[in-house]
Structure formats: C-alpha cells, structure tokens
Amino acid sequence: MRLRRTCILVAILTVMAGVYPARAAEKIPVRFSLDWIVGGRHAGWFTALEKGFYDEAGLKVTISRGYGSEDGTRRLMSGESDINFNDIPSVVLVRSKQGAKIKAVAVIYAKHPSVIFTLKKAGIKSPKDLEGKTLVDSPGSTQVVLFPAFAKAAGIDPKKVNWLLVPPDAKNQMLLSEKAQGMGIYVMQRPLLEKATAAAGGIDQISYADHLSLYGNGILVAEDFLNKSPEAVKRFVKASIKGFLYAFDHPDEAVGYVLKNQPILDREVAKAEGLIVRDIAWSPEAKKNGLGYMDEARMRTTRDLMFQLYDLKTPVTLEDLYTNKFLMEP
Amino acid sequence: MRPRRLRVFAARYGQPLLTLAAMGAVWHLATAVFAVPAWLLPSPRAVGEALYGFRQLLPQHLWVTLVETVAGFLLSILVGVPLAILIVWSPVLQRSIYPIILAAQSIPKVALAPLFLVWIGYGMSSKILVVVSVAFFPIVVDTVTGLTAVEPDLLDMVRVLRASTLQTFVKIRLPASLPYFFSGTKVAVTLAVIGSVIGEFVGADRGLGYLIQVSGSQLRTDLVFGVLAILSLMGMVLFVVVEWLQRLLCPWSVGH
C-alpha cells in the first residue's frame, strides 16, 4: 500500500518536473535596446515589461539603454541586440550605404519628433525667423542632418543659419544660457525645458514635422533575427503596442514603471514626455489601422528624402525597408 | 576627544577644513545673493539634499566605478612594472618600446575610449582598459627612473663583491626603485579615477560617470555636483590608501 502510494507520488513529481521546465523554457529571450538613456518617453516599453505583457507573450525581454542610431545599427548587425528602438530614416541610410539588412516592423514616433526650441523672449515664431540665428545641437544629430531638407520645405536659406555643435549633454545649458538662440532636439524634451525656462518666460517650438512628412523612431529588427524568430518578433511587437496603449491611458501608472528603472527623472516631466509620445504616435494611419502602422506613401517619402539628403546610390525597396505584417497578423 | 588628540587633529586637518568651510560659505552666499539658477550653479545645500535624496542609488554606481578604477589601476601595475623592468634590462627594448609608449601616451584618451567600446563592448572591461591606458604611463616612467637611479657607489660596491646581474637587480635596483614606483602609483591612481569616468561618459549604463550624464541631461546640476564630490572623495581615499601602502612597504621613503 505504502509502496503504491510512493510510486504514484514519484510518478506525479516526475511528470511535473518534466512539464514545468518545459513551460519555463518556452519563454523566448529577447534583448531589446532603446535609442538613448531611459526617459519618460520610454513609458510604453517599461509598461509592457512591468505589467507582464512580454511575459504573457512568452518572452523574456531585457531592456537596455541605447547610444544613438549608429550604435543601434551596430548592435543589430552584430547580434548584440535582437530588437532595437531607433529612427527609421537611418535604416534607409545603412541599408543603402552599408548593406545592413535591417527592417522596420512598427513606427512609434509617427510624427517626426525633430524640433527647434527657442526661448520665447527671442521672438522666433516661424522658420523664417531662424535665418541669421545660431542653433545648438550635437554633431551628427537628426536635426542637423535633416536641416537642409527642412529648410527647403520651409522656404528658408540653410546657409543663413549657424550651427553650434556641442556634446549632447551640454545642449540644454547652451540654450538656457542664451549662447544659442535655438536648440535642435526631439519634441519630448519640451516638458523639461518648459520647467527650466518657466522663470525666463518659456519656450517656442518650430517642428520639422510641419514641413516634412517622414517617420521617426520605430521598432527595428535585423533580418537575420527576423528570419530566425519571426514568432518572437511578432509577439514583441504586439506586446509593446499593448504596453504603449496602456501607458497612453494610464500615464500616472506608466511613469512609475519608468521611474523604477531611472529614478533620477522628475515625475511630472517624465509623465508629460510620455503624453507627447501619445500625441505623435497617433497618426491618421495609426487611428485607422492600429498603433504602429506604417503608411506606404509616407515610407516612400522617408526613403526618397534620405536618398536626396545623402546622395545615396544603392536602391532600397520599400519591401526591404519595412513590413506591417507583425502588426496586422493575428 | 582628549585635548591632546584634538590638538593633533586640528594641527593636521585644521587649515584645509577651515578653507573648505570658508569656500562653502562663499559659494552659498553667491548663489543666494546673485539668484543663480539652479541648473547653472546649485547651492551647497541643494547639492547635499540631492545626494541625500538619491542616497540609495549611489552605492551601486559608486561600486561600479570603484571596481573599474581599482581593477584598471592594478592591471596598469601588472603591465607597467614588467615593462619598466624590460626597458631597464635591455637597451635594445628600451630604444624600441619606449618611443611607442610615448606615442601612445600622446593620443587623447577621449578619442580612444569610443574605439575601445566598439572593440570590446560596453561593459566594465572597456572602462578598465581606458583606465589602464591613462594610468600605466606614470607607473612605467617612474619605475624606469627608479630602477636606473641607483647610486653609482652602491653599484660599484656590489660589483666588487662579485654580485651577478640578477642579484644586483633584485637586491639593489628593485628596493631602490620602490619610492619612485610609489610616486608613479600615486599619480596613476588619481588618473585612474578620471579614466573610468571618461570611459563611462562615452558609453555606460552604470557608474558615477553615467550618473553624471543622466543628471546633466535632466538639468539636475545639483546631483552632478554631488557625484563630482563623491568622485573627488574616492580619488582622495585611493590616494591615501596608496600612501599608506608606501608607508608599509618602504617606510624609509615617506618623510614629512
């Protein structure tokens, strides 16, 4: 009697031991890297992480900070990162110039985030007012690169605008101390600058997106990883979109998840950053087809603009550049 | 404290502490009187409050930078001392290696650091390599000087006593070089702190240099100042540790 009970118990335990590790082994590891230092704008990712959306999708995701789009490309090509969040225009660049096989599988910053912030007291209200002024940015930044195209679209002479290039961490101080009249940066920086300039009268904003229709940051994957683990990519995209949707509706909760990872942020500033992402993510095509959807015409514009700006030679097809299938497939 | 110990403490540390206190007071007054914006120059009190507010965050980042600094420093000794011995031992090697070391030293490390990071990765090892690249030069130069700066009379004497080259090296040159070696390590250890921060500025997600970067980008200049103070304290402590080791290993060289 005792022997039979023991045998049954052992049998049950063995089955459990067999099943349980198999369950845990189902979690696919995904190494995800961001575009820069963790900030309030990354609320969607950390919501997906902390609320268990990635877990539910059977993914074990690690989120690490990024070091810009060049580094992002390097990480994807070397396999150091499986998935990267970075700007889509640079995919056009590296595909054409380096033959780097990277694809965009979703767009988050559907309205391009590049802007020029100026102190209100400088009285710069339109792009034309930028002529004759000094703008500060960091070498190789998106705003500097896109400026010729922006200038052409906005009808101003780019040669009449002076660029002061400084390390990225010094930009804010250059604007605040009025060593430059304007600063090129992403629109998500607005809450921090508004807070810092509150005493000095606040800031004005000139958006590249008012004149250029290209896409900003999105989810980027190397084709190698895409072909190797398409299921993982699909689940990651869907869980991330779910994270962003939740973060947009629950900004107070979402900012808490970011702060857990980056305690040095100011809560209100970080929360406001997350809400700006909400504004630029909801493009007309996203409202129609779902968050993250990439419109073909806009992708074509993005690609053609980059070819023009960089005088690229090797063609890049739209099929190479992006796909909506991971967003649309059930 | 007993009156005598108090007097000794005051004699040794009184002046620098008073000077620091006076500077702190002037700083505080300046920020108050001139209404300096906090993102430009925070008051000492703001710096203290920032450090206190983030006190739970600091130890882990301090540890990372400390490990990078000390590991790099020790590695510089491991690389630098044998190199110095080789240079002194063989004039051929001296003529071939020394100029290369000099050339390497002239390359600004802020330019090398990004390369290291791309070659080796963004973990601690690339920062340790940056530390080695800044710290090994003073160790090599000072150790070489020490190994060669032996009194000629002493060398003559042991030659008369028929000492072999190896015996001369181990019993005479090596001990004589210790004070110079420690001189080099004291310079190296302070440079090592700078090296790890440079490495972290270029690419890190942990460490005091990373904290400075994040705080700076958030216009938390108060925290930047606080972390800088911790870095400088760390450098001072490491310096004192090396000096203490010097007192232990070659007490004859430490004078006041």
Of A64, A177, A264, the CB nearest to B223: A264
| CATH code of the domain made up of B42-253 | 1.10.3720.10
CATH 3.40.190.10 in chain A is located at 26-111+215-328, 116-210
What is the rounded (10 degree) CA torsion for A276, A281, A285, A286?
Answer: -120
With a cut of 90, say whether residue B97 has pLDDT above it. Answer: no
Q: Which residues of B touch A71 (CB under 8 A)?
A: 203
The full set of domain ranges for chain B reads: 1-35, 42-253
Confidence grade of residue B155 (pLDDT, cut at 50, 70, 90): confident
| Residue B32: exposure state from Cβ atoms within 10 A (0-12, 13-18, ≥19) | exposed
Judge whether A177 is closer than 8 Å to chain B, CB to CB: yes
Q: Which residues of B61-84 are buried (b: 16+ CB within 10 A; e: fewer)?
A: bbebbbebbbbbbebbbeebbebb
| CATH architecture of residue range(s) A116-210 | 3-Layer(aba) Sandwich (3.40)
Q: Which residues of B touch A192 (CB under 8 A)?
A: 218-219
Angle at B170 between CA B166 and CA B174, to 5 degrees: 135
Whether residue A276 contacts residue A188, with contact meaning beta carbons closer than 8 Å, is answered with yes
Scan residues 141-200 of B and list those with Cβ closer than 8 Å to A.
none
Which tens digits make up the pLDDT trace of B24-50?
888 888 888 888 888 888 989 999 999
Judge whether B58 is closer than 8 Å to chain A, CB to CB: no
Confidence grade of residue B1 (pLDDT, cut at 50, 70, 90): low
Tell me if B39 and A173 make a contact (CB, 8 A cut-off). yes
**How far is B181 from B174, CA to CA, in rounded Å?**
10
Give me the residues of chain A with pLDDT under 70, please: 1, 7, 10-11, 13-25
Please give the model's pTM, rounded to 2 decimal places. 0.87
- Locate A217 and state its tokens: 């940051």
Whether residue B221 contacts residue B39, with contact meaning beta carbons closer than 8 Å, is answered with yes
Judge whether B118 is closer than 8 Å to chain A, CB to CB: yes
Judge whether B55 is closer than 8 Å to chain A, CB to CB: no
With a cut of 80, say whether residue B71 has pLDDT above it. Answer: yes
* Secondary structure tally for chain B: helices H, strands E: 11, 0
Which pLDDT score is estimated for A96?
95
Tell me if B213 and A176 make a contact (CB, 8 A cut-off). no
Q: Which residues of A touch B211 (CB under 8 A)?
A: 264
Please name the residue that has the structure tokens 């694809």.
A103
Judge whether A264 is closer than 8 Å to chain B, CB to CB: yes
Q: What is the DSSP letter of A65?
A: -
Of B121, B205, B218, the CB nearest to A65: B205
Q: Which residues of A touch B220 (CB under 8 A)?
A: 264
- Locate A313 and state its tokens: 């030679």
Of A67, A80, A262, the CB nearest to B203: A67
The average pLDDT across B196-210 equals 93
Confidence grade of residue B54 (pLDDT, cut at 50, 70, 90): very high
Judge whether B228 is closer than 8 Å to chain A, CB to CB: no
**How far is A257 from B241, CA to CA, in rounded Å?**
41
Q: What is the overall mean pLDDT for chain B?
A: 90
Judge whether A309 is closer than 8 Å to chain B, CB to CB: no
Q: What are the respective helix, strand and coil percentages of chain B, to the nearest 5?
A: 85, 0, 15
**How far is A290 from A285, CA to CA, in rounded Å?**
8
**How far is A236 from B72, CA to CA, in rounded Å?**
39
**How far is A72 from B206, CA to CA, in rounded Å?**
19
Q: Which residues of B touch A67 (CB under 8 A)?
A: 122, 203
Residue of A33, A65, A166 to mutate when probing chain B, most B C-beta within 10 A: A65
Poorest-pLDDT segment among A12-26, A289-303, B68-82, B131-145: A12-26
Query: SS3 of A116, please?
Result: strand
Task: For the domain made up of A26-111+215-328, give the CATH fold.
Answer: D-Maltodextrin-Binding Protein; domain 2 (3.40.190)
Give how far A276 is from chain B: nearest CA, Å.
17
Residue of B49, B214, B222, B227 to mutate when probing chain A, most A C-beta within 10 A: B214
Regarding an ipTM greater than 0.95, the answer is: no
Residue of A nearest to B211 (CA): A264
Residue of B nearest to A267 (CA): B218
Which tens digits make up the pLDDT trace of A209-229?
999 999 999 999 999 999 999
Give how far A1 is from chain B: nearest CA, Å.
57
Q: Which residues of A touch B217 (CB under 8 A)?
A: 37, 168-169, 172
Judge whether A261 is closer than 8 Å to chain B, CB to CB: no
